[in-house]
Structure 1
Amino acid sequence: MNIEETLTKLSLPQKMKLLCGSGWWHTEAIPEAGIPAMRLSDGPNGVRGTQFFNGVPASCFPSSSGLGSSFDVELARKVGEALADEARAKGCHVLLAPTVNTQRSPLGGRGFESFSEDPILNGTIAAAYINGLQSKGVSATIKHYVANDQEFQRFSISSDLSERALREIYLKPFQIAIRDSNPWALMTAYNRVNGLHVSEDKRLIDDILRKEWGYKGMLMSDWNGVYSTAESIKAGLDLEMPGPTVMRGKAVERCLIAGKLFSSDIDDRVRKILELLKRAEESRIPFDAPEESIDTPELRKFLRTAAADTIVLLKNDRDVLPLPSDAKKIAVIGPNAKVAMTSGGGSARLLSTYTVSPLQGITAVAKDIGADVKYAVGAAVHRYLPMLDSCIQQKDGSPGALVEFWNNDPSDDFLAPSANLSSTELKKCDWSTPTPGTDCFLMDGIDVTKVNLNCAIRYSTVFSPDESGDWDVGMSIAGRGNLFLDNKLIVDLSTNPEQGESFFGLGTIEKRAVVKGLKAGQRYNLEIRINNSEFASRGSPFICWGGIRLGGVRQFDGDEAIKEAAALAQESDAVILVVGLNHDWESEGFDRPDMDLPGLTNPLVSAVLRANPNTVVVNQSGTPVAMPWIDEAPTVIQAFYGGNELGNGLADVLWGKVNPSAKISLTFPKRLEDTPSYPSFGDKGQELGKIQYNEGIFVGYRSYEIRKLQALFPFGFGLSYSTFEYSDLETSAVSPDGTFSVTFSIKNTSKVVGREVAQVYISDPQSSLPRPVKELKGFVKVELQGGETKSVKIDLNREALGFYNDRQMGWVAEKGKFEVSVAASSEDIRLKNEIEFGSTITWTGL
C-alpha cells in the first residue's frame, strides 16, 4: 500500500467512514478503494476472537500481575509470541493488550490486568510482551492511556494528580514501553485527567505522546470512550471504537461545515489508520479469516511453564515444601481447588480450550506417586452461583444446551410463569444454535439474517447434579424470563425483574431459589424462556439480543463444611488449602469493596491450620488480599490466576518439579488503611466526579518506606527452594550524560538449581525535592546450579538518577552523591555502594 497515494484517492465520505469501527471487532472496509477491515480482539491474557457468545476457544495465559511477578523478561516475550500465534489463528491483526495502568490500590477491579505498582517493572515487562507479539506481525495496543486506575464512575471520573506524579508514576510505564518496543497502537482511557477526558486531551495525546515522545502509532478509543467530535479529532484520536459511530459520521460533516475541523485534520487521522492497515497487510494475516483454536503439546508445555513461573512462595517456615513423594493421604480443600479460576473477569475472560484445576493437577501427581486424594470444599465464596457447565447436556447427549430464537412469541403463554411446558406445542423456531455453557451474553454469534433484535428465546438442556441434596439455583437475564425444572417454575424473572449488575449493567439481579432433594446423576429437564423486547427497548449501548446466566450449587451448612474440612486435614499426610478470589470479585466494571477473602474463607483457613499445622495455604487472586491468619500459616503460596494450566503449574511447584522464582510485583499490605491511596479511591474520597491522587509519587513500596510502615509482604519479595548469597558489588564512574553500570556476583549456596531476581535500587538523599527512600531502577533474573556463582551487570542511565521537576517542566538529574542498593526485595538489601554525579543535566522526551 502506498499510503499517501491511497489517501489522495479516497473521497471525504470514505475518509469519514474510516474514522470509526465497523461493529465490535473490526475497522471499516472500503472495498472499492482496496481497503479491507482489520480485526481486533481482547485481551491481555488470551485472544478471545470476535464473539462473546459461542466464541472459538482460546488459550488462557497467566494474569498480568502474575507475569509481572515473574520478573522474567524472556518469559514475557515468549508469552507475547504465543499470543501472536493465537491471534493469527483467529485472523486477528490487532490485540487489545497489554494493560500497563499502575496498580494504585489493591481494590482496583482490573488490577490483575496490570503488571505492577512500579513503573520500571511495569514498562519493562510490557515492552518484552509487545516485542514478542509484534515480532510475529500482530499489533499490540498498549492501554489504557492514562490514569485509568479504578472502575467506579470510570466513564466520567477525573483522576486529579500533580504533573510530577503523572510523569514519574502513571505515564512512565507507557513511556518505557514506547521507547523499548514501539507498540503499533495505543488505546485512550475512559476517564478524565485533571478535568479533561483523555480522548480529547491534546496535551496528553499530541504534545506529550506524539511530539515529546515521538510516538508514531495509531490511537483508538476504549469502547464507547469518545465523548466529542471535533475535540477528539483535533487532539489526535484516530479511531472511534466500536461501530456504528456515535460521535463521528454526520457529526464530522457538520464540524467541517462549521469550520471546527478541516480536511487536513481528517487526513491526519486516516493516515494513521492506513499505516496500521499497511502493517496488517505485511503481516500476511488473512482478512475476514475463519477463527481457529491452537492446542498442541508444545503449547500445553509452555502454558504449564508460564503458570509455574508466575507462582510466588511467600512463606515456607518449616520447609513443608517441596512436598515429599511418600505422602499417601493428600487432602485438597477449598473453594478455588475444584474449579479452575483461570482469569479475572470482563475483557480478560474467554472460553479456554481446556483447563486444569488445582484438584486435577494434584490428583495427577498423586496417581504417579501412589497417593490417595480426598477433597472438601470447606466454604462457599461465590458472589454469583457457580455455573453449571459440567452438569448439563442436550437431550440427545450432546454437550451443553440448545438455544432457540423466535421473532414472535411461539405460543400464547410462552412467558407466563404458569405455562404448562409439557402440553404446550411451540411453533418451529426461526434459528437455533448449541452452546457449551450456562453463561450466554447474546451480543454476537447470532444469525442476524434470521433473528430480529426483538425476539423470544428458549434455552433447554438436561441437568444432572454431581451431588445429591438441596440445591441453590440462581438466574440473571437481560430481558424478562422464567426458569423451569421438570416443567415446574423455579425462578420468576418475568414479573417486574429487579435491575442488577449482570451483562455490564444491562441485566437483572441474580434471583435464587432452593430446589429440594436433587439426586446425583439423575436427569432433570431444564428450560429457560425469555422475551427480550423490554430489554431491547431500553437502549443498549451496543447491539445485543439479551443474556442468560444460570448457576447452582448444593446447599451446605457453613460451619459443618469447615468441620468436615478440618477433620479431613487432621487425618491427612499433606494438606493443600486453595482459597482466594475469582472473576466474580475481580473484574472490569467494578472495584472490590475491601481486601477481605469472601464468605467463611478466613475461619476455614484457621480451622484447617489448627487441625494440621503443616497445611500449605494457596491464595489465588490477581491483587493483594488480607490474611488475618498469616502468623498461623507456616507455608503460603500466591498463585494469581494461572490460565489453562494453573493446576499443573501449581502441582509442579508443590512437589519441587519447578523451583519457585517469582517475586510479588506489588506490595501486600497488612490492612486496607495502610495502602497509599486510602481513603481516596473508588467511591471513597471522591467529590463532584473527581478522585484526588493525594499520595502523589509515593505509590506502592515508595509510600510504605517513606511512612516507615511495615507491609505484610514487601514489593519484590519471594522465596525459593534455593538460597542465594550476594557479593562483590562494583559501580562504574558516572559519565557526564548519566550512564553507569552496576556489577555484582550471586551464588547459589544450596544444592538445588534455582533462579534469583536481583533488584537494583537508587537513593538520592541530597535531592532538592522530596524523593522516595529508594526506587527500583533495574533488575535481572539469574539461573544458577547448586553451588554456582555468576557475575551480573546492569547498565543504567540518567533516568536512574533523575526526577521530574514541575517548575522546569522537564526531567533533571542533579549533581551529588547517590546510593546504589542491590537487593533480594525492596526490604532485603544485600549490598550497598555510593556513586557521584558531577554535574546537573536536564532533558525532555525519551
Structure 2
Amino acid sequence: MTPTEAHALSTDALLNQLTLEEQVLLLAGADSWRTVPVERLNVPALKVSDGPAGARGGGPLVGGTPTAAFPVGIALGASWNVELLREVGVALAREAHDKGAGVLLAPTINLFRSALNGRNFESYAEDPYLTGALATAYVQGLQSAGVAATVKHFVGNESEYQRNSISSDIPERALRELYLRPFEMVVRDAQPWAIMSSYNKVNGTYVSESPRLMKDILRGEWGFGGLVISDWGGTYSSGESLRAGLDLEMPGPSRARTGLLEEAQRDPATRAAVRESARRVLRMIQVTGTLAQPRAVANAAEKGEEHGDTRALIRRAGAEGTVLLKNDGGLLPLPAGATVAVIGPNAAKAQVMGGGSAQMNAHRKVSPLEGLRAALGEDRVTYALGCNNDRYLPTLDIPVRIDYLGPDGEIIATEDKQGSEVMWFAFPEGVESESFRARLSLTLTVPADAEYDLSLYSAGLSRLTVDGQEVIDNWTNWQPGDTYFAFGSNEVRSQRLLSAGEHSAVIEFMPRAVEGSVAGFSAVRLGFRAPLSVGAIHEAARVAAQADYAVVCVGTTGEWETEGVDRAGLDLPGDQNALVSAVLAANPHTIVLLQTGGPVLMPWLGGVPALLQGWFPGQEAGHAFADVLLGHADPGGRLPQTFPARLEDDPTHPETPDLQYPGENGHVEYKEGLFIGYRHVDHAGTQPLFPFGFGLSYSSFELSEARLSEAEIEPGGQVNVQVQVQNTGERAGQQVVQVYVRDVKTTLERPTKELKAFARVSLEPGASQTVTLGLDMRALAYFDDELQAWVADAGQFELLIGTSSMDLPIHLPLKLTGKWSWLVVKT
C-alpha cells in the first residue's frame, strides 16, 4: 500500500488492514519518543515531545536541539490571561513541528495542594476553575495548529514523593470539585486529542488500571474520544491496563505489554480492547497530519530555528506573569538615568525554567543583569554575587569526549558532546543501552591556585579522576538519592587543591539497573566551582551602597524545583536571606526580584520597599524583568497560589510528616478535603503572607456599577455579572476582576467562597470598560457524593467581586428559585 492509498482510507478501513500483531505493536512505543511504524501499510511513526514550556524534541533533557523556552506553568498561570495562553499554544505548535513532533506532552494541570510540591512550577494554579480556563485556551491554541495536546497528569499527582507507587486517597467530593474539575473543563471545552495517565494510584487503584476513572468518568461522563498515553514507565500491567482504557504504553520498547499479543489471542475482551486502542492510535496519526505528510522524526532532522515573533511573545508573557507584591512609596518603576546594582545568585545566571522533563536547551537564557545592562547601558549597572543558591555544584559548559568501551576496554565508538552533564537517550551504532561502558574525557581550566569543589551524581555507576588520581568514587558504594527522578544517586563532593592552568579529568561510567526506572535511562553530572570569598555578602552590600538602586535577585533554581522530588521547606536556600538584609541596610532603595516556582518565606519583607515575584519566565527573562522594572510594561501578574506566612499554615500541615503529607505506607491521605489554597485560609482563619489573586499595578483602578442581569434565576438558568473597571491612575495598566460565589445556606459543608469567573482588563489612564462575566448552574453547584450528582440548592447566594481572594468589596445577592441537580451516573 502506498502512502497516498493509506491516507485515503478511513481509520476503520486502515484498521481492518492491520493484523492483530500489528495492532498490538501500535500500543507501545518504539523508543522514548516514537510509536512503532507499520511499514507494510505505510503507517508512519508518530513522534511526541516534552513539554509544557517548550518543545524539546527527541533529544536528552540537557543539550539537544535548541528550542524556544516559554514561561513555566505557574508564570503563565499568574498572567490570568486566557488569550495569552491561546497564543502560547499556537507558538508551541510551530516549535513542535520544527522538532518533527505531532504530539506535545502538555499542559500540566494538577493543582497546588501543597506548597512543597516539587513540580509546583509546572502547573497553573491552586484553583480548579482558573486552571481549567487557562488550560482550555492553551489546548485550543495548540491543536488549532495541528499538534495534539496531552493533558496531564490524570489524576491525583499533586506531589512527587513515591509517585510511582503511592495511592492518593482522595474523598469523592474533593476529587470531583477540585482535582478532576480542570480535566473536565478541558475535555468538554477544548476536546484534547490526548490525556496522560498519572503514575500514582487513586484510592488504591493505579489510575492506568482504573475503569472508573478512565472509562466511566473520562470517556463515559465527559465523552473523551482521544488517546490515553501512560506517563513514562507508568504502565504496570498488560491486558488489565488496556481494558481499563490506557491505549499507549510509553516509552518503548514495551515492558509491561510484552505478553499482550498472546493474551489478546486467547481473550476476546482483550482482543476487542486492542482493536479500539489501535483505532485511537491510528486516529491520532491521522488528525495530526502525520499520515498524510510523515514528518522527519529522526532527532538529526530536528530544526533549531529561532522565530522572532516567538521571542517577542515570550518576553511579553514574562512581563504579564510578573507579580508586583510590594511597592512602598512608588519606588518602582525605576527612573530614567538611574544607576543600579544588580546583586545575588540569580542576577548573572538566568533562571528560566524548572527541572525534570520540562527542561530543554533554550535558544538563549537572558539574565536580569544582561537585561538591565541592555536597557540602561553597561556603565549604569554594576554587579556582585553575594552568595550561592545552588543545590548541586554547577556544571561546566566545556567539550566532552565520550569513548564507548568494549569488553576488553577497546574503544568501539566515540562521540563529542558539550557540557559536563550527559544524559543518554540515544547511542552510536553497536552500543547497547543497558550494558555499555563509557569514558568521558574533559579539560578543567583553573584560573588560580586554590581549593576547588568537585562533585558527581549519576543514574548509573561513576568515578572521577583528575590528573590521573581518583577524586570521587561513586561506583563501589553507590547510594540511591533524589537526582534524576529519584533514579540517580545523591551528589558526592570532594575538594581538590588545583594549580592555575589546565587539568585533565576522566569520568568512568556504567549503567546500573534500578527497579521502576525508564528503560535505558543513564546519566552522569560533573559539578565544579571555585570557592566563594568569605566577605562576599559584605562586598555585595558595598556595591549596592554605591548605586542609586539595588535589585537583589534571589530565589531557587531548577535543581530545587524539579520533577521527582518535593521541596524540603519554604526557606530560601543558602545565605540569601542574609544577603537581602545586608543589601537593604546598605541601600534603602532596594528591590527584591524573587524567582521561585512557588511560595517562600520572607523574613526581610517588612523592611523591603519593593518586591517582584518573577517565577521562571522563559528564555527572555532578563528582558521581561527590565521591561517591568523600568516601567516599559506594567507588572501584569496576579498570584495563582496563596503564599502562606509560615509552613504550618500550609493546608497539608507538613510540619509533622504523616499520612496527610508526604504519606506513609504507600498512601497519602487528602484529609484537608475541599480546603486547599484560599479555601483553607477562609476555613482555618489564617493570615497569608499574600493572598490568592493578589498583585499590584503601577496604576490604580476602581470597580463600580456592579449589577446582575437578574436577581433571581430558575434551575438551569444563567446569570451575567457586569462591573465597570476604571483606570484612575496616570499610567496604562492592567487589572484582573475576580468573581467568587458564596452559598449562603448550604446542605453540605462548602468552602466560604469559590472562584467562578474572572477577566483581565488593560486600560489607558482615565479609561474605563464594562466587563461582563457569565455564570451557569455549575458555578453554584457542589458535588453530592451520595447522589452522584452536581447539586445547587434553592435559596440565597452571594457573588463577591474584587481583585483578590481577600479584597472583595462588592457583594451582589442572587436567588435560585428551586433546586437544580445533574446526575453524573445515569440510573
Number of the residue aligned with 1:360: 370
Number of the residue aligned with 2:695: 718
Which residue of the other structure, out of 30, 45, 63, is the alignment partner of 2:72? 63
For the residues of structure 2 that align with 1:495 and 1:536, how far apart are their CA atoms?
12
Question: In the alignment, is the contact (CA less than 8 A) between 2:238 and 2:259 conserved in 1?
Answer: no
Superposition pairs of residues 177-192 of structure 1, within 5 angstroms = 177-192=186-201
Which residue of the other structure, out of 581, 585, 590, is the alignment partner of 2:556? 581
1:538-579 CA-to-partner distances (Å, cap 9, x unmatched) read 678444374221112221255x22222222222221101011
- Per the alignment, do residues 20 and 682 of structure 1 end up closer, same or farther by CA in structure 2, a change over 3 Å counting? farther
Report the secondary structure of 1:261's partner residue. helix
- Per the alignment, do residues 344 and 531 of structure 1 end up closer, same or farther by CA in structure 2, a change over 3 Å counting? closer
Instruction: Name the aligned partner's letter for residue 43 of structure 1.
Output: G
Superposition pairs of residues 425-464 of structure 1, within 5 angstroms = 429-444=411-426, 446-449=427-430, 453-464=434-445
Number of the residue aligned with 1:104: 113
For the residues of structure 1 that align with 2:447 and 2:89, how far apart are their CA atoms?
38
Question: In the alignment, is the contact (CA less than 8 A) between 1:402 and 1:434 conserved in 2?
Answer: yes
Question: In the alignment, is the contact (CA less than 8 A) between 2:660 and 2:669 conserved in 1?
Answer: no
Runs of 5+ in structure 1 lacking a partner?
Answer: 393-399, 411-426
1:154-173 CA-to-partner distances (Å, cap 9, x unmatched) read 01111112111100000000
Question: In the alignment, is the contact (CA less than 8 A) between 1:155 and 1:191 conserved in 2?
Answer: yes
For the residues of structure 2 that align with 1:788 and 1:545, how far apart are their CA atoms?
57
Which residue of the other structure, out of 9, 32, 45, is the alignment partner of 2:40? 32
Number of the residue aligned with 2:144: 135
Number of the residue aligned with 1:415: none
For the residues of structure 1 that align with 2:96 and 2:113, how far apart are their CA atoms?
30
Which residue of the other structure, out of 63, 67, 73, is the alignment partner of 2:82? 73
Question: In the alignment, is the contact (CA less than 8 A) between 2:215 and 2:244 conserved in 1?
Answer: yes
For the residues of structure 2 that align with 1:466 and 1:820, how far apart are their CA atoms?
64
Within the alignment, does 1:200 sit opposite 2:176 as a pair?
A: no
For the residues of structure 2 that align with 1:452 and 1:262, how far apart are their CA atoms?
32
For the residues of structure 1 that align with 2:27 and 2:688, how far apart are their CA atoms?
48
Report the secondary structure of 1:292's partner residue. coil
Number of the residue aligned with 1:395: none
For the residues of structure 2 that align with 1:73 and 1:793, how far apart are their CA atoms?
15
Report the secondary structure of 1:649's partner residue. helix
Report the secondary structure of 1:447's partner residue. coil
1:686 deviation in Å?
2.5
Instruction: Name the aligned partner's letter for residue 302 of structure 1.
Output: L
For the residues of structure 1 that align with 2:504 and 2:312, how far apart are their CA atoms?
38
Number of the residue aligned with 2:725: 746
Number of the residue aligned with 1:172: 181
Number of the residue aligned with 2:153: 144
1:480 deviation in Å?
4.0
Number of the residue aligned with 2:5: none
For the residues of structure 1 that align with 2:175 and 2:469, how far apart are their CA atoms?
58
Report the secondary structure of 2:774's partner residue. strand
Which residue of the other structure, out of 302, 307, 330, is the alignment partner of 2:313? 302
* Percent of paired sites with the same residue: 40
- Per the alignment, do residues 353 and 468 of structure 1 end up closer, same or farther by CA in structure 2, a change over 3 Å counting? farther
1:372 deviation in Å?
2.9
For the residues of structure 2 that align with 1:841 and 1:482, how far apart are their CA atoms?
67
1:809 deviation in Å?
0.6
Number of the residue aligned with 2:6: none
- Worse-superposed segment, 241-250 or 701-710: 241-250
Report the secondary structure of 2:563's partner residue. coil
Number of the residue aligned with 1:621: 596
For the residues of structure 1 that align with 2:294 and 2:447, how far apart are their CA atoms?
44
1:744-798 CA-to-partner distances (Å, cap 9, x unmatched) read 1011011111111111111111111111111110010111000101111111111
1:664-708 CA-to-partner distances (Å, cap 9, x unmatched) read 101000111101111377884633311111111111101101222
Question: In the alignment, is the contact (CA less than 8 A) between 1:91 and 1:291 conserved in 2?
Answer: yes
Within the alignment, does 1:502 sit opposite 2:483 as a pair?
A: yes
For the residues of structure 2 that align with 1:294 and 1:242, how far apart are their CA atoms?
27
For the residues of structure 2 that align with 1:175 and 1:454, how far apart are their CA atoms?
44
Report the secondary structure of 2:557's partner residue. coil
For the residues of structure 2 that align with 1:106 and 1:48, how far apart are their CA atoms?
27
- Worse-superposed segment, 507-516 or 632-641: 507-516
Superposition pairs of residues 327-346 of structure 1, within 5 angstroms = 327-328=338-339, 330-346=340-356
- Worse-superposed segment, 679-688 or 805-814: 679-688
Number of the residue aligned with 1:121: 130
1:518 deviation in Å?
5.0
For the residues of structure 2 that align with 1:409 and 1:506, how far apart are their CA atoms?
28
Superposition pairs of residues 214-613 of structure 1, within 5 angstroms = 214-254=223-263, 256-257=265-266, 259=267, 261-281=269-289, 286-289=294-297, 290-328=301-339, 330-367=340-377, 371-389=379-397, 392=398, 400-410=399-409, 429-444=411-426, 446-449=427-430, 453-465=434-446, 469-516=450-497, 518-519=499-500, 522=501, 524-532=502-510, 535-536=511-512, 541-544=517-520, 546-557=522-533, 560-613=535-588
- Per the alignment, do residues 359 and 485 of structure 1 end up closer, same or farther by CA in structure 2, a change over 3 Å counting? farther
- Per the alignment, do residues 127 and 540 of structure 1 end up closer, same or farther by CA in structure 2, a change over 3 Å counting? closer
For the residues of structure 2 that align with 1:2 and 1:489, how far apart are their CA atoms?
63
Report the secondary structure of 1:556's partner residue. coil
1:282 deviation in Å?
6.3
Report the secondary structure of 2:622's partner residue. helix
- Per the alignment, do residues 54 and 746 of structure 1 end up closer, same or farther by CA in structure 2, a change over 3 Å counting? closer
1:526 deviation in Å?
3.2
Question: In the alignment, is the contact (CA less than 8 A) between 2:642 and 2:691 conserved in 1?
Answer: yes
Superposition pairs of residues 617-696 of structure 1, within 5 angstroms = 617-679=592-654, 684=661, 686-696=663-673
For the residues of structure 2 that align with 1:739 and 1:283, how far apart are their CA atoms?
43
Within the alignment, does 1:794 sit opposite 2:773 as a pair?
A: yes
1:629 deviation in Å?
1.5
For the residues of structure 2 that align with 1:666 and 1:752, how far apart are their CA atoms?
27
Question: In the alignment, is the contact (CA less than 8 A) between 2:660 and 2:670 conserved in 1?
Answer: no
Instruction: Name the aligned partner's letter for residue 803 of structure 1.
Output: Y
1:531 deviation in Å?
4.1
- Per the alignment, do residues 690 and 727 of structure 1 end up closer, same or farther by CA in structure 2, a change over 3 Å counting? same
Instruction: Name the aligned partner's letter for residue 836 of structure 1.
Output: K
- Calculate the aligned-residue CA RMSD, in Å: 2.1
Q: How many residues align?
A: 809
TM-score w.r.t. length of structure 1: 0.92
- Per the alignment, do residues 162 and 543 of structure 1 end up closer, same or farther by CA in structure 2, a change over 3 Å counting? closer
1:492 deviation in Å?
3.6
TM-score w.r.t. length of structure 2: 0.94
1:513-540 CA-to-partner distances (Å, cap 9, x unmatched) read 2233554xx4x143223141xx346678
Moved over 6 A (4+): 680-683
Within the alignment, does 1:703 sit opposite 2:680 as a pair?
A: yes
Instruction: Name the aligned partner's letter for residue 790 of structure 2.
Output: W
- Per the alignment, do residues 110 and 260 of structure 1 end up closer, same or farther by CA in structure 2, a change over 3 Å counting? farther
- Worse-superposed segment, 226-235 or 161-170: 226-235
For the residues of structure 2 that align with 1:71 and 1:587, how far apart are their CA atoms?
23
- Per the alignment, do residues 111 and 452 of structure 1 end up closer, same or farther by CA in structure 2, a change over 3 Å counting? closer
For the residues of structure 2 that align with 1:251 and 1:760, how far apart are their CA atoms?
51
Report the secondary structure of 1:249's partner residue. coil
Question: In the alignment, is the contact (CA less than 8 A) between 1:456 and 1:529 conserved in 2?
Answer: no
Question: In the alignment, is the contact (CA less than 8 A) between 2:738 and 2:755 conserved in 1?
Answer: yes
1:305-359 CA-to-partner distances (Å, cap 9, x unmatched) read 111111111000121110112223x211111112111111111011111110111
Report the secondary structure of 1:8's partner residue. helix
1:839 deviation in Å?
1.3
Question: In the alignment, is the contact (CA less than 8 A) between 1:158 and 1:689 conserved in 2?
Answer: yes
Within the alignment, does 1:829 sit opposite 2:811 as a pair?
A: no
Instruction: Name the aligned partner's letter for residue 202 of structure 2.
Output: V
Which residue of the other structure, out of 35, 45, 48, is the alignment partner of 2:53? 45
